[in-house]
Structure 1
Amino acid sequence: MRGEFNYSANNLDLLLLNSPLKNYELFPKLNDFTLPTLGLGYIATCAEAHGFNVEVIDAEALGLGVSQLAEIVNKKSPRWVGLNLLAPTYQNSIEILRQLTPDIRIMLGGHQAKAMPTTILKERRIPRIDALVLGEAETRVPILLGDVESRQSLPQVFWREGDVAVMPKVTGYDPSLLAPDINTLPFVDRKHLQQDPYMDGLVRESAMVASRGCPFDCSFCGAAISANPDVTIRMRKPHNLIAEIVELRNVHHVERVRFVDDLFLANIKLIREILSAFVEEQIKIQWDATGRINVLANASDDIIDLMVLSGCREVALGIESGSDRLLSHIDKKISVRQILTAVERLCRAGVNVKGYFILGLPTETRQEQQQTVELIYRLQDLTSNLPGRFRCSAFEYRPYPGTPDWKRLVSAGYSEQEMMNYEPETLAELFQEKGLRDRDEFNFSTGIQFGEVPVSETRRTLAELMRRQKEL
């Protein structure tokens, strides 16, 4: 069920926006669910804790078009509007900004802002930029709301004066301005999330973040450590996680939580510490998380047992490819052998596995794409009679600014502008498959061929994989 939102005007200090993937005034919205915008929720919650009036509009969740969203913002007339800039929504974000009344201050952040700050500051289509906030913003946004001139002393906050980009180098600042203590941040106020808690089938579920940062450097990933040198890698304490889980269970009647960050199952010592606390405190709730294949393939049996005992229902694994050569090229630090071991161990223990795959990676040969398809089929067959269920989500490759891949592709002659030009149609629309229209895999694409296999052929393979998955 799509979320609802109160569009009535009120006195707002900050209105945070998650731009739509497509302009839903022109294209139909086919997917009724998107993961909640926890980052914006944290910023809103922290700003409210400092006494400011804040709202969040998730236009993707609500299916709002560009002009619809701009009209709502102008009607509400906040002092500030804030947008998280992402590659797939960048063009829509610019068009929204162009339609805002000139008395609204503009605050920008997100992955795109961090990856291309100078380019964004020089972007003439953006009418004004009063604050470009790079990185984690929970502690800096309230300061900016209190006094716009504070930007001169805040680290990693830039702006534009007329046609001039202002990018001061601030030193001697409090480290918490860039790396807040995640064990003292308030829990996200779920009123700021249009689709959380949400129903996954018959189960009421909420998303959580247990960590910040990632120590790995997968070449295609926006969370790669080389793309985020400003991020301090850290994990929330068990008591802090348990307190939020208990609040979600008792206040919001949540039956399952999904840890959406990269690190929850990436370190054996932390896995043991956190899951032992879950068991000891008897949280009585199921949980899903993302895991690292090399960690889970080599973990001792008691770690897998502890996962089951503490309530683990499903683990999402970034498998990406069935080619050892390509896995090395994208710096996954895993092998096909480890993939088979990790998936079989989890499913044999009764834990479901969702495997993520990417077709069309740079340098991928036709044979390597076929190896990926064959690995998916092999994993489905391998686990067909085990207690845990394996399912796949296969994506068409898309490059993101700031990643190791992006730098390699630009050096190889690919156009930055073309790589950010996402096509408005989805694969589900191209294939007219009603059964595929709720798949998040088909939201957007650059349409550029980066490997040996043509894009049209890759898309046909994706559609066939998803058809087969749906039939299982």
Structure 2
Amino acid sequence: MQQLSLLAGADPTRTLDAVFVNAPLRDYGLRPRTNDYTLPVLGMAYIATYAQQAGFNVGVLDAEAHGMGVDEAAGHVNAARPRWAAMNLLAPTYEMSARIAEHLDPDIALMVGGHHAKAMPDRILADPRMANVRALVLGEGELRVAALLEDEQRRRELPGVMWRDRLLGTLAAGIPSGKPNPQLLGPDINALPYVNRAFLPQDPYQAAPTETDRRLAVSRGTRLLKTAARVGHVEANIVGSRGCPYNCTFCGAAVSANPDLTIRVRSPENIIGELDELHAVHGVTAFRFVDDLFLGVGRVIEEQMAAFTRDRIGERYVWDATGRINVLNRLSDRDLDRLVQNGLREVALGIESGSDRILQAMDKRIDAEMTERVARRLVQHGIGVKGYFILGFPGESLEDIEATVGHIRNLWDIADSNPGDIRASVFEFRPYPGTPIWTTLTDAGHKPDALLAYGDVDLTSDGADESMRQRDEFNFSVGIQFGDVPLATIRSTLATLTREQHQRNQTSKGAVA
């Protein structure tokens, strides 16, 4: 029973049908993690929730959230003795997943899915460490995973399911009799149950007050915001849509990498229902939409905001969302005012670079001037901005990197004279299979084995630098210089910007009344 305590959402009194394993970003048995921040595995929790409602006893082992090593994670799965273990394969954590799979009891059947499984199914099924994979699920898995849990032999009739024939050593795939049900590949997201948060050990969570909360308390002055500036919010992550219509060359969600994916948006009523349920059950007052479309398509913004206004969401909650710069650039001041009134706290933007040449190579459909204009308008309305940036993109020169550094500092200067804050989160470029840039790199002669050699990079100065500790788990690399700038320069620039952002985070810009 002690082993089951880490299996979130499982019923310890029943035999386990499946354990869903989220592999760690690195082997924490070799170098322990330095912070307690982790991203919730919402996709895995959706599948687990659907399986649970179908009557199966399932649990989630979030080895990343618990800071587990490979041996420890495999040991917990073996001790739990489920019929199935299921893994979401991502390129940076594939080695961790494969090493866990290698140490699982051979009586435990294995199913895998995720971006990496979709991009390289043949390679995964040929990996001897994955010899016990009985089903590789391409794309969204809710309905097909439940069908596999009911009867493994159903894989023969399920579209988008692959495995390796143990006797012949050949690949096999499900062949539906008749026309396949499209819901199997892309379920109606309005018909799916709300995520059972019991599967997410760190979501909802109590967040400490942030600079954005303090600024909002001053600029908007509501009771909710003044309270949050003192004690923080209970926060939860949420998905409002699936799919992305854009084709950023480095992104696994690029439309060219997912031609089979139907783009769908949840209805406003369905979303608001989940917000209210999370508030009623867990006391959540702040939400983070982590999908690409919530503020990424004009018609979606219009539809959702009309409903938020009707339900007076802004009087009860605040929320953050990802957004597209080119879409936000087309919004009027009246549109931005409505976002504020409806509770928008912060927008996460894929700014990526301050070099127009690199932005064009990334197919971002923006330029640095547009980014600066949009960011200025957002913070003038009191909306915070979190900008993501990439250093070391293929073909990047020192001049391009200097343009990005200057761009970030310009954005900080803009924030300093406006109600909204701007935060910068900077990463080293790493290639992902299935993306447009992956094809460009392999066509240029880069070997897949080298491009897949992800390793963690310790930028914490032997644990002495607080700013590096806060994002240590996300510092990983394939160790290849793709542009003109040496990796040492890229990493020192990344560390410098991260330290400067950390110093800004420590400085409060406004008193709370």
Instruction: Say whether the fold is shared (TM-score over 0.5).
Output: yes
The answer to whether residue 214 in structure 2 is matched with residue 207 in structure 1 is no
Q: Distance in 1 between matches of 2:292 and 2:300?
A: 13
Question: Could you tell me which residue of structure 1 aligns to residue 294 of structure 2?
Answer: 264
CA RMSD of aligned residues (A): 1.5
Distance 2:7 2:17 in 1: 17
Q: Is the 1:122–1:165 contact (alpha carbons within 8 Å) kept by the matching residues of 2?
A: no
Query: For residues 350-378 of structure 1, what are the alpha-carbon distances to aligned partners after superposition, in whole Å with 9 as ceiling and x for unaligned?
Result: 00000100000011111011101100011
Corresponding residue number in structure 1 for 2:81: 77
Cα deviation, 1:129-178, whole Å, max 9, x if unaligned, reads: 10000100011111111111110110100011222221345461000000
Please say if 1:45 is aligned against 2:10: no
Structure 2 residues not aligned, in runs of 5+: 209-231, 505-513
* Deviation for aligned residue 1:441: 7.3
Cross-structure match for 2:225 = none
Pairing 1:189–2:196 present: yes
Deviation at 1:281, TM superposition (A): 0.8
After TM superposition, the score normalised by the length of structure 2 is 0.89
TM-score, reference length from structure 1: 0.97
- Partners of 1:270 and 1:261 in 2: how far apart? 12
* 1:422–1:446 contact (8 Å) kept in structure 2: yes
Task: Give the Cα separation in 1 of the matches to 2:358 and 2:108.
Answer: 47
Aligned to 1:326: 358
CA contact (8 A) 1:426 1:442 kept: no
Partner in structure 2 of residue 287 of structure 1: 319
Give the whole-Å Cα distance in 1 for the aligned partners of 2:254 and 2:380: 31
Is 2:159 the counterpart of 1:166?
no
Q: Does 1:109 align with 2:113?
A: yes
Is 1:464 the counterpart of 2:470 in the alignment? no
Moved more, 186-195 or 424-433: 424-433
> Displacement, 1:440?
5.6
Contact 2:329 2:370 in 1 (8 A): yes
Name the % identity: 49
Deviations 1:229-264 (A, max 9, x none): 111001000000000000011111111000001110
Q: Which stretch of the first structure deviates more once superposed, 291-300 or 179-188?
A: 291-300
Cα contact 1:427–1:442 (8 A) shared by 2? no
| Consecutive unaligned residues in structure 1, runs of 5 or more | none
Q: Distance in 2 between matches of 1:70 and 1:9?
A: 21
Contact 1:428–1:442 at 8 Å: present in 2 too?
A: no
Equivalence for 2:65? 61
Residue equivalent to 1:125: 129
Residue identity opposite 1:198 in structure 2:
Y
Tell me the residue number matched to 1:144. Answer: 148
Q: SS at 1:130's partner residue? A: strand
Q: Please point out which of 390, 393, 399 is paired with 2:422.
A: 390
Q: Does 1:178 align with 2:185?
A: yes
Q: Distance in 2 between matches of 1:440 and 1:397?
A: 16
**One-letter code aligned to 1:164:** T
Q: Classify the secondary structure of the residue corresponding to 1:144.
A: helix
> 2 CA distance for matches of 1:186 and 1:276?
24
**4+ long deviations beyond 6 Å:** none
Aligned to 2:404: 372
Q: For residue 5 of structure 1, report the CA deviation from its aligned partner.
A: 2.4
Q: Distance in 2 between matches of 1:52 and 1:307?
A: 41
Residue in structure 2 matched with residue 416 of structure 1 by the alignment: 448
- In structure 1, the residue matched to 2:254 is 224
Tell me if structure 2 keeps the 8 A contact 1:84–1:110: yes
Q: Could you report, residue by residue, the CA deviation over 1:439-470 in whole angstroms, capped at 9, with x for unpaired residues?
A: 26743221211111101110000110011111
Partner of 2:16: 12
Decide which moves more: 194-203 or 302-311: 194-203
For the 8 Å contact 1:276–1:306, the answer to whether it is kept is no
Report the 3-state secondary structure (helix = DSSP H, G, I; strand = E; otherwise coil) of the residue aligned with 1:258: strand
Please state how far the C-alpha of 1:9 moved relative to its aligned partner.
8.4
What secondary structure does 2:427 align onto? strand
Decide which moves more: 206-215 or 118-127. 118-127
What is the aligned counterpart of 1:451 among 473, 480, 483?
A: 483
Cα offsets for 1:81-115 (capped at 9, x unmatched) = 00001111111111111111111100000110000
Cα distance between partner residues in 2 of 1:438 and 1:371: 26
- For the residue of structure 2 that corresponds to 1:299, the secondary structure is coil
Aligned-partner Cα distance in 1 for 2:53–2:41: 19
The CA distance in 2 between the partners of 1:204 and 1:400, in whole Å, is 34
Is the contact made by 2:155 and 2:174 (CA closer than 8 Å) also made in structure 1?
A: no
Q: Distance in 2 between matches of 1:448 and 1:143?
A: 42
Change in Cα spacing, 1:164 to 1:429, as seen in structure 2 (3 Å) is farther
Once the 2 structures are TM-superposed, how far is the Cα of residue 421 of structure 1 from its aligned partner? 1.3
Moved more, 436-445 or 451-460: 436-445
Task: Tell me what 1:24 maps to.
Answer: 28
Instruction: Report if aligned partners of 1:47, 1:142 keep a CA contact under 8 Å in 2.
Output: yes
Contact persistence 1:286–1:312 (CA under 8 A): yes
Tell me the secondary structure at the aligned position of residue 64 of structure 2. Answer: helix
Secondary structure class of the residue paired with 1:62? coil
C-alpha deviation, 1:430, in angstroms: 6.6
Amino acid of the structure 1 residue aligned with 2:135: A
The answer for the alignment partner of 1:401 in structure 2 is: 433
- Contact 1:57 1:194 (C-alpha < 8 Å) held by counterparts: no
- SS of 2:416 mapped into structure 1: coil
CA shift, 1:31, in A, is 2.7
Determine which of 148, 153, 158 is the counterpart of 2:157: 153
Q: Compared with structure 1, are the counterparts of its residues 361 and 441 closer, same or farther at alpha carbon in structure 2 (3 Å cutoff)?
A: farther
CA-CA distance at 1:123 after TM superposition:
1.3
Provide, for residues 253-309 of structure 1, a one-character-per-residue CA deviation record: whole Å limited to 9, x for no partner: 111000001110011222121112112112311000000000111211121111100
Tell me, yes or no, if structure 1 residue 361 matches structure 2 residue 393.
yes
- Asked if 2 retains the 8 angstrom alpha-carbon contact of 1:15 and 1:54, the reply is yes
Q: 1:97 aligns with which of 94, 98, 101?
A: 101
Q: Which AA in structure 2 matches 1:373? A: V
Checking the alignment, whether the CA contact within 8 Å between 2:467 and 2:498 is kept in structure 1 is: no
Please name the residue that 1:241 is paired with.
271
CA distance in 2 between counterparts of 1:254 and 1:237 reads 20
Any idea what the Cα deviations from partners look like across 1:31-67, whole Å, max 9, x if unmatched? 3111100001000000011111110011000111111
Query: 2:496, 2:194 → 1: CA distance?
Result: 41
Q: 1:359, 1:369 within 8 Å by CA — same for their partners in 2?
A: yes
Distance in 2 (alpha carbons) for counterparts of 1:216 and 1:73: 38
SS at match of 1:25: coil
Local SS of the residue matching 1:60: coil
The total of aligned residue pairs comes to 469
Q: Give, in whole Å, the separation in 2 of the partners of 1:412 and 1:431.
A: 38
Deviation readout 1:336-394 (Å, 9 max, x if unpaired) = 11101110010000000001000000111110111011000111112211000011001
Q: Secondary structure at the match of 1:316?
A: strand
